[in-house]
């Protein structure tokens, strides 16, 4: 076959396969048998292998492509993927509708047109199409920044690599949910169990874990599916003016859209839709944990706008939580990444909310005492969506064989360090922050973060490898690493290893404030670390300070003072600190606050609250310090001024209550621009 004939055949086969994918995944009306599909697909593969110059990036054969990566690059969303306001009662939905009508100036006799859709229990994604071709896929992440999962998204056959038809915007962001159908989830877990692996807890976790695989070939083997439910903003020309019409347009473009959506006029039909969806919840082929209602007219959506984290034109009506009965078999304590001890009940396994439940949180000791939960009790357990299962109430208590009342342990069940109760809280924490295995990864992540020792290249995944392989147990072990040890790790080449060793060496030169912050002492943030450094002058002084001496520092209250004293008096923590200094971690002498050069704000104590729009908080604090001022964390009668930005917190209320003068950002800028003020 000559080159031109091959080109024509490749284009024809690609178009035929795309059409089959559309009929199969969108219309659920395939024209080919599986064997016929495979025959055409293999022919296309052979032709593209023989004539690679005619293979396009949106070819059906390119769904599984690329090599395994060692990270998922961050993606900044052009338009944030906002969360949805949630309601759980009909009265709350009615209140939502009332707010919508009030903002639109609509009377009760003029009902709003909504679109009702299932609230999929999957993973939200953003798909970017340029000139009709898929160029990027990203997870939602925190709404502002997600992860680049383009290679894995391309393996999902229900996601078109090229949009069908024309008259689409040149740049279009399609939003939707990636999920595992119920049957596919069960089949996947059966395969994993046969291979001796650990099955996924629920379909959502399976979908998320599959999509975030570093090797696209692994993701390709997972039967992921996709539903489109909207587009990114700003809303562009050539798109319908109603959301219901947009869904149909997306379907025509080759995107799967649920058959369950409905256009609904007013509150009554919306509530009926919700009840109907709830009744059929177990019959749906996908997991759903509620219904989403969106104002149908795009013009009205734009008029309603959004608040900080959620659009005003949409709401999620959550299904009621599911309760089941089980028996408490044991009560244990788990150690979180920051050292918090959480009581957990091990229960007789039951199914709730689409998952097998063998453990349930007991929250804290006050909750256990209030509900009088003990081993042997029959209890009611509740789970809704991804919420951690919890015990709601004790249904019956055995006359015999009931365990004793629960008391919190005196030492950490993992490292043996003393535990301490947080003042005025029902929370207890392990004091072995630097040497407790349960806190190991978190303490290393914090230690190496930019505001702490700033070790470039030491990311979360690499920290996980270092801990899991036993190379690093405490931050001090980082300074024993060399290229030979590092290149033995997965996906770590000689150059990357050398760069990391250099970054670790560079981190040895730091400041006392950064070092104190890096230790991860509870309640000690950057401001408090700097305050401790400037007040005590040296690490030796801090190590030898008694608790009452710490409380004499302006800005250090009982909670912080106790946390600092407990941390430095733990033998394991002190041993790690000694090893860090022996490794060469050092800092210049600290100028004590009392020895500071007097300035226009000499002796003044400032507290900042809210977000500064014109300058950064760091710039403001630097200006105040250079002028002789000090920075505090809480407002007391000794506070001189409270700097107030946008959306201030309780510190503004404290200032008003105590009569402390407040300073706006405008006034602060005047201070910074005019040396004579105030």
Residues carrying an active site annotation: 119
How would you list the strands of the sheet with 133-139, edge to edge?
133-139, 123-130, 171-179, 225-231
Q: Is 531 helix (H, G, I), strand (E, B) or coil?
A: helix
Q: Which residues contact 581 (CB under 8 A, 6 or more apart)?
A: 539
End-to-end CA, the chain: 85
Q: What gap in Å lies between CA 193 and CA 200, rounded to an integer? A: 10
Q: Which of 219, 209, 271 is nearest to 68 (CA)?
A: 219
Token pair in block for residue 530? 């700097």
- Residue identified by tokens 């293999």 is 42
Q: Which residues contact 492 (CB under 8 A, 6 or more apart)?
A: 462, 465, 486
| Beta-bridge partners for 177 | 124, 227
Q: What gap in Å lies between CA 154 and CA 219, rounded to an integer? A: 10
290 contacts 273 by C-beta, under 8 angstroms = no
Q: Which residues contact 4 (CB under 8 A, 6 or more apart)?
A: none
Q: Which helix (H) or strand (E) holds 650?
A: helix 650-658
| Beta-bridge partners for 475 | none
Q: What gap in Å lies between CA 182 and CA 34, rounded to an integer? A: 22
Q: What gap in Å lies between CA 599 and CA 560, rounded to an integer? A: 28
User: What's 574-599 look like in SS3?
Assistant: HHHHHHHHHCCCECCCCCCHHHCCCC
Q: What gap in Å lies between CA 323 and CA 321, rounded to an integer? A: 7
Burial class (CB in 10 A: 0-12, 13-18, 19+), 105: exposed
How many Cα neighbours within 13 Å face the side chain of 407? 4
Token pair in block for residue 457? 């290249």
What does the buried/exposed string (b/e) look like for 107-143 if buried means 16 or more CB atoms within 10 Å of the residue's CB? eeeebbbbbbbbbbbbbbbbbbbeebebeebbbbbee
Task: Sort strands 85-87 and 419-421 into parallel, antiparallel or unpaired.
Answer: unpaired
599 contacts 627 by C-beta, under 8 angstroms = yes
- CA angle at residue 343 from 560 to 331, to 5 degrees? 150
- Listed in order, strand segments (DSSP E) in 417-567 are 419-421, 428-430
Burial class (CB in 10 A: 0-12, 13-18, 19+), 582: exposed
Q: How far is CA 490 from CA 151, 215, 497, in A?
A: 20, 13, 11
Helices (H) and strands (E) in the chain, counts: 24, 22
Q: Which helix (H) or strand (E) holds 396?
A: strand 390-396
Q: Which residues contact 50 (CB under 8 A, 6 or more apart)?
A: 6
């Amino acid at each position: 076959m000559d080159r031109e004939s091959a080109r024509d055949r490749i284009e024809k086969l690609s178009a035929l396969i795309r059409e089959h994918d559309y009929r199969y995944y969108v219309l659920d009306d395939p024209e080919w048998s599986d064997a016929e599909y495979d025959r055409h697909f293999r022919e296309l593969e052979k032709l593209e292998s023989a004539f690679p110059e005619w293979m396009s990036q949106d070819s059906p054969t390119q769904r599984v492509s690329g090599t395994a990566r060692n990270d998922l690059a961050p993606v900044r969303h052009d338009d944030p993927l906002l969360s949805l306001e949630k309601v759980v009662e009909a009265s709350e939905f009615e209140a939502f509708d009332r707010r919508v009508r009030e903002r639109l100036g609509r009377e009760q006799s003029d009902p709003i047109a909504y679109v009702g859709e299932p609230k999929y229990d999957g993973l939200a994604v953003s798909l970017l199409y340029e000139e009709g071709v898929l160029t990027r896929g990203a997870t939602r992440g925190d709404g502002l920044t997600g992860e680049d999962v383009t290679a894995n998204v391309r393996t999902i056959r229900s996601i078109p690599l090229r949009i069908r038809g024309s008259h689409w915007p040149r740049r279009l962001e399609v939003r939707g949910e990636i999920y595992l159908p119920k049957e596919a989830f069960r089949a996947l877990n059966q395969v994993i169990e046969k291979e001796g692996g650990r099955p996924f807890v629920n379909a959502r976790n399976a979908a998320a874990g599959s999509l975030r695989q570093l090797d696209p070939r692994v993701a390709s083997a997972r039967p992921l599916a996709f539903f489109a439910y909207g587009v990114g903003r700003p809303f562009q020309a050539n798109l319908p003016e109603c959301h219901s019409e947009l869904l149909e347009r997306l379907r025509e473009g080759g995107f799967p859209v649920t058959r369950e959506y409905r256009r609904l006029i007013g509150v009554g039909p919306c509530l009926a839709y919700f009840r109907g969806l709830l009744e059929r919840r177990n019959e749906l082929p996908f997991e759903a944990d509620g219904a989403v209602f969106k104002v149908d007219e795009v013009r009205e959506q734009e008029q309603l706008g959004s608040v900080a984290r959620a659009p005003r034109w949409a709401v999620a009506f959550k299904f009621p939580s599911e309760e089941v009965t089980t028996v408490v078999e044991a009560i244990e304590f788990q150690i979180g990444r920051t050292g918090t001890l959480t009581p957990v009940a091990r229960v007789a396994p039951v199914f709730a909310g689409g998952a097998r439940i063998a453990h349930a949180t007991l929250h804290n000791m006050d909750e256990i005492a209030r509900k009088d939960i003990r081993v042997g009790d029959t209890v009611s357990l509740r789970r809704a969506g991804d919420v951690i299962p919890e015990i709601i109430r004790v249904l019956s208590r055995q006359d015999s064989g009931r365990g004793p009342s629960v008391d919190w342990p005196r030492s950490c069940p993992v490292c043996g360090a003393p535990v301490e109760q947080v003042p005025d809280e029902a929370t207890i924490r392990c004091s072995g922050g630097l040497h407790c295995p349960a806190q190991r990864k978190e303490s290393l992540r914090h230690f190496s973060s930019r505001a702490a020792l700033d070790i470039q290249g030491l990311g979360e995944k690499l920290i996980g490898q270092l801990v899991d392989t036993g190379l690093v147990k405490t931050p001090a072990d980082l300074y024993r690493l060399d290229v030979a040890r590092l290149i033995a790790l997965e996906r770590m080449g000689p150059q990357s290893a050398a760069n990391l060793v250099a970054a670790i060496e560079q981190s040895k030169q730091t400041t006392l404030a950064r070092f104190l912050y890096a230790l991860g002492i509870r309640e000690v943030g950057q401001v408090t670390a700097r305050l401790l450094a400037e007040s005590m002058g040296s690490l030796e002084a801090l190590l030898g300070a008694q608790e009452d001496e710490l409380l004499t520092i302006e800005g250090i209250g009982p909670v912080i003072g106790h946390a600092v004293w407990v941390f430095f008096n733990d033998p394991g923590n002190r041993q790690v600190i000694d090893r860090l200094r022996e490794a060469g971690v050092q800092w210049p002498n600290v100028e004590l606050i009392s020895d500071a050069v007097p300035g226009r704000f000499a002796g003044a104590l400032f507290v900042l609250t809210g977000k500064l729009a014109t300058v950064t908080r760091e710039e403001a604090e630097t200006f105040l310090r250079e002028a002789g001022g000090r920075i505090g964390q809480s407002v007391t009668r000794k506070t001189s001024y409270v700097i107030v930005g946008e959306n201030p917190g309780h510190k503004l209320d404290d200032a008003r209550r105590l009569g402390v003068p407040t300073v706006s950002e405008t006034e602060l800028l005047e201070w910074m621009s005019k040396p004579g003020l105030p």
